[in-house]
Amino acid sequence: MATSLPIVEMKDISISFPGVKALDGVDFRLYQGEVHTLMGENGAGKSTLIKALTGVYKIDSGQILISGEERRLTGTADAQAAGIATVYQEVNLCANLTIGENVMLGHEVRGPFGINWRATYRAATEALKGLGLDHLDPRQPLSSLSLAVQQLVAISRAMVTKSKVLILDEPTSSLDANEVENLFTVMRRLRDQGVAILFVSHFLDQVYAISDRLTVLRNGKYEGEYLTRELDRTALISKMIGKDFATLKSLGRERQEHHGEPREPLLTATDLGRKGSIEPTDVELRRGEVLGFAGLLGSGRTELARLLYGADKPDSGTVVLRGKKTDLSTPAAALANRIAFSSENRRDEGIIRDLSVRENLILAVQAKRGWFRPLGKKEQDEIVGKYLKELNVRPADPERAIRNLSGGNQQKVLLGRWLATKPDLLILDEPTRGIDVGAKAEIQATVAALAEEGVSIVFISSELEEVVRLSDRILVLKDHRKIAELDNGPEITAETIVAVIAEEGVTEEGAA
Amino acid sequence: MTSTLQPRKDGSSNLATGDRPVSQRFRFDLNTLPTIAALVIFIGMIAYGEIAYGRILQANTISNLLINNAYLIVLAVGLTFVILTGGIDLSVGAIIAFSSVSGVMLANAGWDPYLVMVLMVLMGTAFGAVSGVLVQYFNVQPFIATLAMMFLGRGLASMLSTVPERLSDESPIRALATPIKIIDGEKVNDLVVTPGVMLAALVVLGGFFVLHRTRLGRTVYAIGGSEQSASLMGLPVPRTKLAIYIISGTLAGVAGVIYTARLGSAQNITGIGWELDAIAATVIGGTLLTGGAGFVLGSVVGALVLGLMNVLITRDGGIRPETTTIITGGILLVFVILQRFVIRQQR
């Protein structure tokens, strides 16, 4: 399968940023016709390595050989010219243009009268066909496609340039299981055509399903290169985090033993709904309970959570909180009633990039107190110190700008922000998305500990395993309505939930 | 669950695969809606004017509309490029003032009038280039960068002269405003164009060609859709952003030449607020202020809507001219709301 000469060979690559050695003598080889996964925790240097390969970052030392020739790439366009195409986690296409225009942007077929649109669209159709996307009409606007299909369009764009190397940087983090399968089908097809694919993902299952070979990085250093079939998961994780991961395993057992005794309800919502986002739904939440929201992306999980917090105004239903009917139609009202909501959109609705860790952390407490009674320096230090320590935020430097922290640590700061308000109900929407195994385990442990202390938690995640592991009860959503509520127990697994979602209303599937 | 690979809206759109009839090349989608609305309003205004006042839909009225608004059409084409990328150019009115005052003074000082016209255009290019460099390489907000150029241009024009500078009637520059009869109608009802109008038409065609038939134009749309995406797609974003401000500045220079030729004089206060007229024309013509959607031809219609409005107000006689701005504001408001609606539909 693999020819003797790697198509990409990176030797002894080092890159430093002020104060950090992002990559330290890393080697990487990529062969034609393989799927090669780059593994490592956040901050291990995966993105830096990719940016070095695509010419976004300059390397301080080392060599990059492409098809055996040393190259110094200077940017995305240059990398594309050298046959290296990249598809990023957030789909980077233009939603205002058509599918075909996106596929061909920068490579339009030109004739004597400028761009020949007919030939351009024909080429776009060819490129889509090459990935088995024959059913897409290239003249439709891109915005008519789901995110998952947009990603496939981004890949076909890479194929227009006849790229020999395709880099997929966390392409699956916002896809559901079927969409991932579609992506993998396309990836296998390209691999068989001889394209070398560099894949990055946090999902171990996916890594094992698709990749032929792995390179593991840790703290900017090269850990090793392995054949996927020769390295089991436990070994892989310990190579990534460099220590055992018993925390992950013990957690599930604790939670499953934990539930059982009925507790008093904290919040009871009846017929809570909003037109176009979620049908009227009943939600009951007891004190110290973790209620998981499970469902595919777009099933209404986030929408329901936003109604509970008042981020969107419900247009039907009532909420009884601590035995009293309560109006929760604005975030301020929810906050005053000790309900906190951590958004799934960490970058836009969570952190404030340019503020420091300290400022980000105290934001919600300060807002709750009102801006006319600023927190004193001492109080701030107390709160910030407490949560940085408890949540194990690294680096534990409160004055560092939050944008310089890894995703996992940003998420911990956000968790701290809401914990500082001492909530009775904490809504966590995708708190572990796109963060590494270590930080994920820590956040899960925090959630379990909070429930132990009597905080009620709504836990939303695309990773069903995680929902099952943590939740006392699971509310299953599909197509903007609740389709089931399951009491968690040893017999419930991720497969149970998938089955519930898959079997419900099979006849309507075409409309989904 | 094969449905994941199909367009989200409904199953039916899958029927339309591959080869579609050529007639569908002009897609009716939401992006064209504001432009179509502008066209409808324009036609409606003509119809209303014809019924209420008469003598609107006739050759000489249309000719005058084009002659009087040629400069605005050229400005609006330039602004369309800028606004399509999500930027703004406030300097175009001041560029006209500076290039026309200095142009007239140079011509009166005995410089070759053809050279002077070229220089007037190049002055606009220079202003645009400075704006573009500020925006692209110094990361200054387009609003601020072009605001600075606006004050600079206006100030320089005032330093040159604060009184109207007249161009001699024989100057070849004025030839740009010589009427050319196309159709000789009854009495004064002739279809007339001037070289200025023809120049404006060329600018419109050129703008259309660049935006829809060149990679530069496609990059302009891509930047308006998402600048980050455009640069990750390997498109030449910095070069393109520089280019659009240069285009806008250059076209402001062209507009200065056309306007000076028609008026025969120039003054430092010429063109105050014209940048806003041009922005209004562009927005009325259907270009989204957030960028990424719009058409040059829409901006032409937008400019003509504004021009026709002035004609109608003059014809009515009963409407005080001061209300022009109120009506412009009203129309603009309606279009901005329409755009909001379109954007909401797209999400």
Which residues are registered as beta bridge partners of A284?
A: A268
CATH 1.10.3470 fits B30-346, yes or no: yes
What confidence tier does B5 reach under pLDDT thresholds 50, 70, 90? very low
Residue A204: the pLDDT is 78
Q: What strands lie across the sheet with A339-342, from one edge to the other?
A: A339-342, A425-429, A456-460, A290-294, A473-478, A481-487
Residue A508: the pLDDT is 40
Q: Which fold has domain A246-338+424-433+442-512?
A: Rossmann fold (3.40.50)
What confidence tier does B310 reach under pLDDT thresholds 50, 70, 90? confident
* Rounded average pLDDT over A173-181: 79
Relative orientation angle of helices B59-84 and B296-316, to the nearest 10 degrees: 140
Taking CA–CA distances from A506, the nearest residue in chain B reads: B1
Residue A510: the pLDDT is 37
Of B4, B229, B232, the CB nearest to A148: B4
Angstrom distance (rounded) from CA B184 to CA B251: 32
- Between chain A and chain B, how many beta carbons pairs sit less than 8 Å apart? 119
The amino acid that residue A279 corresponds to is E
- pLDDT one-digit tens code per residue, A471-500: 889 999 887 888 888 888 777 877 788 778
Interface check A209 vs B, CB under 8 A? no
Residue A243: the pLDDT is 54
CB-hemisphere CA count at 13 Å for A278? Answer: 31
What confidence tier does B28 reach under pLDDT thresholds 50, 70, 90? very low
Contacts of B20 in chain A (CB under 8 A): 137, 139
Instruction: Verify whether the Cβ–Cβ distance B1 to A512 is below 8 Å.
Output: yes
Angstrom distance (rounded) from CA A15 to CA A61: 7
Question: How far from the centroid of its chain's Cα atoms is residue B340's Cα?
Answer: 21
Residue A257: the pLDDT is 52
Instruction: Verify whether the Cβ–Cβ distance B11 to A511 is below 8 Å.
Output: yes
Angstrom distance (rounded) from CA A392 to CA A438: 11
Q: What is the DSSP string of A417-430?
A: HHHTT--SEEEEES
Taking CA–CA distances from A77, the nearest residue in chain B reads: B234
- pLDDT one-digit tens code per residue, B179-220: 888 888 777 788 888 999 999 999 999 999 999 999 999 999
Q: Which fold has domain A8-245?
A: Rossmann fold (3.40.50)
Instruction: Verify whether the Cβ–Cβ distance B235 to A140 is below 8 Å.
Output: no
* Rounded average pLDDT over B226-233: 89
Angstrom distance (rounded) from CA B228 to CA B236: 12
pLDDT of B99 over the 60 cut:
yes
Q: Give ∠ CA A390-A391-A393 in degrees, rounded to 5.
A: 115
* Rounded average pLDDT over A32-42: 87
- pLDDT one-digit tens code per residue, B277-303: 999 999 989 898 888 889 999 999 999
pLDDT of B347 over the 70 cut:
no
Instruction: Verify whether the Cβ–Cβ distance B17 to A134 is below 8 Å.
Output: yes
Contact A34, A2 (CB under 8 A): yes
Interface check A511 vs B, CB under 8 A? yes
Interface check A139 vs B, CB under 8 A? yes
Residue A421: the pLDDT is 86
pLDDT of B130 over the 50 cut:
yes
Contacts of A297 in chain B (CB under 8 A): none
Stated as kind and residue range, the H or E segment containing A105 is none
Contact A474, A292 (CB under 8 A): yes
ipTM: 0.81
Of B6, B213, B233, the CB nearest to A106: B233
What confidence tier does A253 reach under pLDDT thresholds 50, 70, 90? very low
Q: What is the DSSP string of B268-310?
A: TTTTTTHHHHHHHHHHHTT--TTSS---HHHHHHHHHHHHHHH
| Coil, helix or strand at residue A109 | coil
Instruction: Report the percentage of chain A scoring pLDDT > 90.
Output: 17
Structure tokens at B189: 């009802």
Comparing CA positions, the residue from B105, B106, B93, B100 lying closest to residue B261 is B100
pLDDT of B13 over the 70 cut:
no
Angstrom distance (rounded) from CA B224 to CA B291: 4
- pLDDT one-digit tens code per residue, A218-234: 888 898 899 988 888 77
Question: Which of B218, B237, B342 would best serve as a mutation to test chain A binding (most A beta carbons within 10 A)?
Answer: B218
B25 or A413, higher pLDDT: A413
Domain ranges of chain A: 8-245, 246-338+424-433+442-512, 349-422
- pLDDT one-digit tens code per residue, A75-97: 888 888 888 988 887 778 998 89
Q: What is the DSSP string of B32-43?
A: GHHHHHHHHHHH
pLDDT of A2 over the 50 cut:
no
Domain ranges of chain B: 30-346
pLDDT of B8 over the 90 cut:
no
Residue A69: the pLDDT is 86
Round to the nearest angstrom and report the end-to-end CA distance of chain B.
24
Instruction: Verify whether the Cβ–Cβ distance A79 to B225 is below 8 Å.
Output: no
Q: Which of residues 47-106 of A touch B (CB under 8 A)?
A: 75-77, 79-80, 86, 88, 92-97, 101, 105-106
Q: How far is A144 from chain B (nearest CA, A)?
A: 6
Stated as kind and residue range, the H or E segment containing A386 is helix A377-390
* Rounded average pLDDT over A258-284: 81
Interface check A178 vs B, CB under 8 A? yes
Residue B266: the pLDDT is 92
Residue A432: the pLDDT is 84
Structure tokens at A143: 């915005």
Residue A22: the pLDDT is 82
- pLDDT one-digit tens code per residue, A319-334: 888 888 888 888 888 8
Contacts of B18 in chain A (CB under 8 A): 125, 134, 137
Sign of CA dihedral B115, B116, B120, B125: positive
Contact B60, B66 (CB under 8 A): no
The percent helix, strand, coil of chain A (3-state, each to 5) is 40, 25, 35
Contact A361, A381 (CB under 8 A): no
Angstrom distance (rounded) from CA B229 to CA B225: 8
Residue A99: the pLDDT is 93
Question: What Å distances lie between residue B304 and B39, B189, B291, CA to CA?
Answer: 10, 20, 22
Q: How far is B23 from chain A (nearest CA, A)?
A: 13
CB-hemisphere CA count at 13 Å for A482? Answer: 19
Comparing CA positions, the residue from B337, B312, B334, B336 lying closest to residue B324 is B312
* Rounded average pLDDT over B251-256: 96
B223 or A274, higher pLDDT: B223
Residue A327: the pLDDT is 86
Contacts of B3 in chain A (CB under 8 A): 509-510, 512
ω into A395 cis (within 30 of 0): yes
| Coil, helix or strand at residue A502 | helix
Q: Which of A272-286, A372-386, B255-269 has the highest mean pLDDT?
A: B255-269
Residue B343: the pLDDT is 66
Question: What Å distances lie between residue B334 and A385, B13, B76, B84, CA to CA?
Answer: 53, 32, 19, 20
What confidence tier does A401 reach under pLDDT thresholds 50, 70, 90? confident
A213-218 and A35-39: which strand pairing? parallel
* Rounded average pLDDT over B11-26: 39
Contact B60, B311 (CB under 8 A): no
Contact A236, A211 (CB under 8 A): no
Structure tokens at A278: 């979620």
Burial profile A286-297: b = 16 or more Cβ within 10 angstroms, e = fewer: bbbbbbbbbbbb
pLDDT of A512 over the 70 cut:
no
